Amino acid sequence: MTTKAQLDPVTLEVLRNALPAIAADMATDLQRTSYNMMIYEVQDYCCALLDADGRLICQNIGGVSHFVADLGVVIKDAVARYGKDGFRPGDVLIMNHQRVAGQHLNNVCVYTPCFFDGVLEGFAIVRAHWADIGGMSTGTSAPGLVSDPWMEGLQLDQIKIYDAGVADEKVLRIIRDNIRFQEASMGDLRSQIAACNMATRRFDELFARYGREVILGAIEHIFDETERRCRRRVAAIPDGIYEADSFLDADTPDKTNVIPIRVKVIVKGEIMTIDLTGCSMQRKSGINGRTLAGAYIAYKGLTGPLDNVNEGSFRALEVEIQEGNFMMARYPAPMAAWSRGLPTVVDTILKALAPALPDRIPAAHMGNLGGSLTFYGVDPMTNKPYVLQTIEGGGWGGRPYEDGVSTCVSVCQGDVRNSPVETIELKAPVIVERRALRENSGGAGEFRGGLGIETRMTNLREGKWSLSNAGRRQCPPWGIAGGQAGQASVNYMRKPDEHDLKPFDPVRMQSEPGSSVMVATAGGGGWGDPLDRAIEAVQRDVADELVTIESAAKLYGAVIDPASGRVDIGATTKLRHDMRLARATSEATP
């Protein structure tokens, strides 16, 4: 029988779901067996299957979005180095080198080849965030601290740590001896290996059940089908050239040299071209990366946000970006904060398309990867090292039809979440004193921006704090269609002998017991004129303590009685009329 005859609709549908199920099972194995909070709680990882040419077959649902563009390049580089005949069953390779991987060194790829009847058919890969990889890698992405990759940590360049099932103990010992939290990182390595080994078995079982021709035919069919869906959705966008710009905070001490983001989106028929050549060239700071993730994430959100991701998802996308761009930096550019610019790139691509898709494009969201809190040290009572890491979400932009989501991680992070209070206090000597919505942080609009979060902790033992919550403080999440910007993020710290929290960005800062820190993440921008917001919605926001009474009047023209909590309709009507009149007068004044 031919492949076409064997690949009936039922078999195709089974395989369409069976392949992503393997990646989902990998994720479950990884999460349940890992040692590091960034994996088992925060879920900062992705699991995937790729074919022997490095084409993406599937990725686990919820896997970190900004990893999707940088898995195939790892496999293609390995095949170029070893050749397809250079892999054997039982091989395990490790890779985080920035010349290809293009990310901070904590994001470690572990992968295994998949064989059927002695023929290389693909690879199972897990990229996961290690708590430490040596150097200055523990809990900091401060771009000004590192000037080259050797300061960041241990660089692993396509190393076989298992050769045909036999561990290279010397290499494993070198890795173990160069990291601070050996139990966590080596445990995570074993977890990644186990997830990949499980995937190779499941892949082999599928091939044995359905045959090589059917499996490979189904993969090609799924790729083609996904591409066709994406092309149809691009074809629905009016042809044209759409442009927008924004910027990231300055990465120099004087804070005057902001980093420009300029995008051009060209829609022609079924093809979309995203031109990023107008963005900043690579920087001396660690804000560089080497990735197409910004363009990929925006395109995926526009063409198939709920569809499984595979190689066909990006076939009809053309990305223009030059070598030396800060998102396509040449090694050895420092990349400790490689992903800081990606949420803004995605937002700016969507901003460019707002005139073409006015009923779909939201206002800007939090604009960074969230409020990251890291605290680490050695517990004097047990003499064991500890490390706490969590990522606190922020607000998403208001949409043409509803308010933005509150306290959600960025569009680049999949199902990443914050660590539960109970786990934080169990794993590290800290008390979580506050985790609450950040009042007034959502940008005003007919549809309000989502709110950020305030998370405050106090350490009970001496240790080091690092807080990462920057990226767009000078360019807060913007509004769309008359909406206002959301509040920018800010970090705070209080020493034991101080009374109040003060704005501060601690990085690897030795802190005495009783020190407190707090991250306040950004709110999303608003969509539409705030004076058009439903009065009932403003009243509800005030009742829920999302917006103060003062802000309700100042931003929305809604007069609310403090005693009853009810809107004064007459006073509100008059105030909104006066505010519109004042606005018109101001706009008419030269």
pLDDT tens-digit series, residues 541-555: 999 999 999 999 999
pLDDT, average across residues 223-243: 98
pLDDT at 590 over 80: no
Tokens representing 292 are 């197409």
Pick from 369, 468, 475: nearest CA to 143: 468
Rounded to 5°, angle at Cα 8 from 4 and 12: 100
Question: Residue 205: pLDDT band by 50, 70, 90 thresholds?
Answer: very high
Most distant CA atoms of the chain, gap in Å: 80
Rounded to 5°, angle at Cα 521 from 301 and 346: 25
Rounded to the nearest 10°, the torsion over CA 411, 414, 420, 425 is -90
pLDDT, average across residues 506-523: 96
Q: Within 10 Å of residue 278's Cβ, how many Cβ atoms?
A: 14
Q: Give the model confidence (pLDDT) of 256-313 as tens digits.
A: 789 999 999 999 999 999 999 999 999 999 999 999 999 999 999 999 999 999 999 9
**Token pair 């995203």: residue:** 274
Which 8-state DSSP code applies to residue 514? T
C-alpha gyration radius of the chain: 25
Beta bridge partners of 127: 46, 109
| Pairing between β-strand 271-275 and β-strand 317-320 as defined by DSSP bridges | parallel
* Beta-strand runs (E) in 134-215: 159-163, 166-167
pLDDT at 382 over 90: no
**Token pair 């990251």: residue:** 372
Pick from 395, 386, 462: nearest CA to 424: 386
Q: Give the model confidence (pLDDT) of 473-486 as tens digits.
A: 989 999 999 999 99
pLDDT at 562 over 80: yes
Please, are residues 177 and 88 in contact by the beta-carbon 8 Å criterion? no
**Token pair 């779909």: residue:** 360
Q: Please tell me the least confidently modeled range out of 103-112, 224-233, 466-475, 539-548.
A: 466-475
| % of the chain beyond a pLDDT of 90 | 88
For the full predicted model, state whether its pTM sits above 0.85.
Answer: yes
Please, are residues 312 and 305 in contact by the beta-carbon 8 Å criterion? no
Tokens representing 478 are 């913007």
Element (H, E) at 385: strand 384-392
Question: Residue 69: pLDDT band by 50, 70, 90 thresholds?
Answer: confident
Which 8-state DSSP code applies to residue 69? G
Rounded Cα distance, 96 and 127, in Å: 9
Element (H, E) at 389: strand 384-392
What is the phi/psi pair of residue 431, to 5°? -115, 130
Cis amide prior to 113 (ω within 30 degrees)? no
**Token pair 């979580």: residue:** 432
